[in-house]
Amino acid sequence: MADEPQSTDRAPSRRRFLKSTLAGGIAAATAGGAAAQQAVAPVATSGNPKNLPPRVPSWTQVLGDGVATHPYGKPSKFEKHVVRRDVEWLTASRESSVNFTPLHALDGIITPNGLCFERHHGGAAEINPADHRLIIHGLVDKPLIFTVGDLMRMPRTNRVHFLECAANSGMEWRGSQLNSCQFTHGMIHNVMYTGVPLKVILDEAGVKPAGKWLLAEGADSSAMTRSLPIAKAMADCLVAFKMNGEALRTEQGYPIRLVVPGWEGNLWVKWLRRIEVGDKPWYTHEETSKYTTLMGDGRARQFTFVMDAKSVVTNPSPEAPLLTKGRNVLSGLAWSGRGTIPRVDVTLDGGRNWREARIDGPVLDRSLTRFYVDFDWKGEELMIQSRAHDSTGYVQPTKDELRAVRGVNNIYHNNGIQTWLVRATGETENVEIS
Ligand SMILES: Nc1nc2c(c(=O)[nH]1)N[C@H]1C(S)=C(S)[C@@H](COP(=O)(O)O)O[C@H]1N2
Ligand SMILES: [Mo]
């Protein structure tokens, strides 16, 4: 993949009403091991009668594995289908690519470390922390070099935040394309980071009054660089070394990465090695040719940092069809780069009737928030949508509302309302209503 996923010629002619598209993308889903089928969670409607009540199951009659069979634990073998997957036609090379979080298979708000989507511009650097340094220079009183150990002795804090790639849902700009919740919305993860506030580090170096921007650079082969306003750096950014309690994964920037709450994923520089303070942005490759948004009128938006409020129903979804009539749980995620999610609305009938979803679990600032609707399914066709409200009063727009403002020659910042069509069979498809 040359850069971020595109919604270009692969996009189908816009078959707007009740049309999911089985374009190139779906071939990848199948190549990924019949994703839609495999990804379906096992249910308690089948099973070997020998192991079912009133019989005593076979595993009760033998000793299990001892401790330390797996010094580092892993999921049950029955959860093998719960993995990151990629879309073959978006993957020009493995080193400059992206894979996706299996949102349909997860619950709560935390993304397990091994399932966090990856986006690399030059592959994942493998760095011995003993050989790694963080350099601070430019418009500072005292240029400094920190070892990872130095950072770990500075005051630290814990924060849960989502990271969403600006291109998440980018393949859907012109119409529904990928028949998969993992692929339409899975360029996001939500992690508890442990790290040092960037302000603490910058204060130690002493930012000169003229210092208004900083440049963050990664140590990977892409030397990913992005400009960031000092005000944001001072407000809430972290230099993180732990995710969900353990060291960052190699793929997520081990040994240190930048955390930029609520802002585009590409600013969250991984394998962070250099911070330069300057008086204006650097206009790097990543902020001129990429990560600008081409509008309908031909002008471009630049430095579109904040991720607006968005939501998606993760169950049911193409990989998680409805399997039984009667009692069912609809579940989903909502988030906003501007604050918390106080409310999510859900419709089951394509927008004729909306109800307020039940938000459950922690409601945190610029974090994924989990919602549910407990409902009874009689086998009728459903058209499911969710609509997030954030703490600023912003309401998630429809895709058509977005297109009216931004046109369709776009990739980034697609936070439009997603529609899933549930057929009478329970099979669920990516569609659009117009
Ligand atoms: N050094 C470096 N940092 C990087 C990137 C990269 O390629 N190199 N990719 C960026 C992009 S575009 C995104 S969306 C996020 C992805 O973070 P993840 O791999 O933890 O999901 O990292 C960002 N930071
Ligand atoms: Mo990204």
Give me the DSSP letters along 240-292: EEEETTEEPPGGGTTT-EEE-TTB-GGGS-SSEEEEEEESS----HHHHTSS-
Q: In CATH, which of 2.60.40.10, 3.40.50.970, 3.40.309.10, 3.90.420.10 is domain 113-301?
A: 3.90.420.10
- Report CA(134)–ligand 2 centroid distance (Å): 22
Ligand 1: nearest atom to the Cα of 164: 14
Q: What residue type is assigned to position 37 of the chain?
A: Q
224: amino acid identity, one letter: M
Under DSSP, the state recorded for 416 is P
Cβ–ligand 1 distance for 120 under 6 Å, the answer yes
Instruction: Give, in order, the Cα–Cα distances in Å from 317 to each of 147, 330, 428.
Output: 45, 10, 6
Asked if residue 315 lies in contact with residue 354, where contact means CB atoms within 8 angstroms, the answer is no
The structure's pTM equals 0.91
Q: Is 32 a pocket residue for ligand 1 (Cβ < 6 Å)?
A: no
Three-state DSSP class for residue 176: coil
C-alpha 180 – ligand 2 centre gap (Å): 19
Q: Please give the distance, rounded to the nearest whole angstrom, from the Cα atom of residue 265 to the centre of ligand 2.
A: 5
Residue 316 and residue 321: Cα distance in Å, rounded?
Answer: 5
Assess whether the C-beta atom of 222 lies below 6 angstroms from ligand 1: yes
| Domain ranges across the chain | 19-30+306-431, 113-301
C-alpha 23/C-alpha 179 separation (Å) is 9
C-alpha of residue 253 to centroid of ligand 2, in Å: 14
DSSP 417: P
Q: How many residues does the chain have?
A: 434
Separate counts of helices (H) and strands (E) for the chain:
8, 23
Tens digit of pLDDT at every position of the chain (434 positions): 334 444 333 333 333 333 333 333 322 233 233 344 444 554 556 788 999 999 999 999 999 999 888 899 999 999 999 999 998 888 778 878 899 999 999 999 999 999 999 999 999 999 999 999 999 999 999 999 999 999 999 999 999 999 999 999 999 999 999 999 999 999 999 999 999 999 999 999 999 999 999 999 999 999 999 999 999 999 999 999 999 999 999 999 999 999 999 999 999 999 999 999 999 999 877 777 666 777 777 777 777 899 999 999 999 999 999 999 999 999 999 999 999 999 999 999 999 999 999 999 999 999 999 999 999 999 999 999 999 999 999 999 999 999 999 888 888 999 999 999 999 999 999 999 97
Q: Which residues surround ligand 2, an ion (CB under 5 A)?
A: 119, 165, 265-266
- According to CATH, the topology of domain 19-30+306-431 is Immunoglobulin-like (2.60.40)
- Structure token digits, residue 191: 């992690």
Tell me the two tokens of residue 22: 């089985």
